[in-house]
Structure 1
Amino acid sequence: MSEQQFFAQPETSEWIELAPGNRRRVLIHTPELMQVEFGFDKGGIGAPHSHPHIQVSYVAEGTFEVTIDGKTETVGTGGSFIVPTGLVHSVVALEAGRLVDVFTPMRQDFV
């Protein structure tokens, strides 16, 4: 049995490039919960997708056009959005920025 991780420092997580202008790094997780940081260059796209996880996102920096289940809104620094299970969602970075996403349960496909 592995020891529970209580703390994480950003320099211990490596960025993975997902597409031009879009990268992620897993910050910390348990089987029930995961925190992930996404970095976007201006114009970077988080392509439309869905997953069985509940996702809540915090805009740590920048401004994003966020589409959830066909509804689009602009969300800037300090704003948040939630994506219920199974809904198609996407983002476009209107300027360079970062999202901090929390998933429940954790995303096995990210580790």
Structure 2
Amino acid sequence: MTVKNFFPAGENKLFDAGGGLTRKVAAYNDNVMCVEVHFETGTVAALHSHPHEQITYVISGKFEFKVGDDTYVVSAGDSLYKQPNIVHGATCLEAGTLLDIFTPHREDFI
């Protein structure tokens, strides 16, 4: 992959993932990816797992996250870590935005 150092906001398009969830891929390279994720109130990100490490930072809104056997209610300023292959998902309690960081990058998001 050719290294790209700047990702202007205007070039990053919102992708409608359906059900009240949209996402915008920001900066990424082979080893890391930053994704802005927008949720409408009531949107559910179904339980799933993937081989990537993931950190989620809550920019705005309120969410209930299930990570493994634990459940967390999170809001602006909170963050979560999800190790590879752990089952996780979320329900949006109040419309908001998350910032997800993946390592390595999510090929399926490009």
* Structure 1 residues 4-15: aligned runs within 5 Å: 4-15=3-14
For 2:69 and 2:14, how far apart are their aligned partners in 1? 29
Per-residue deviation, 1:28: 1.2
Shift of 1:27: 0.6
Give 1:79 shift: 0.5
1:60 alignment counterpart: 59
Counterparts of 1:30-109 in structure 2 under 5 Å?
30-109=29-108
Query: How many residues are matched?
Result: 110
As a proportion of its length, which structure holds more strand? 2
The amino acid that maps onto 1:95 is E
Greater than 4 Å deviation, 4+ residue runs = none
SS in 1 for 2:94: coil
1:11 aligned counterpart, secondary structure: helix
73-82 or 18-27, which deviates more: 18-27
User: Superposition RMSD on alpha carbons, in Å?
Assistant: 1.1
- Distance of 1:56 and 1:23 partners within structure 2: 18
Cα shift readout 1:62-83 (whole Å, capped 9, x = no counterpart): 1110100021010100100000
Partners of 1:9 and 1:79 in 2: how far apart?
Answer: 26
- Where does structure 2 lack aligned partners over 5 or more consecutive residues? none
Instruction: Tell me the percent identity.
Output: 36
| Whole-angstrom distance in 2 between the partners of 1:105 and 1:22 | 22
**Secondary structure of the corresponding residue to residue 94 of structure 1:** strand
1:11 Cα deviation from its structure 2 partner: 2.3
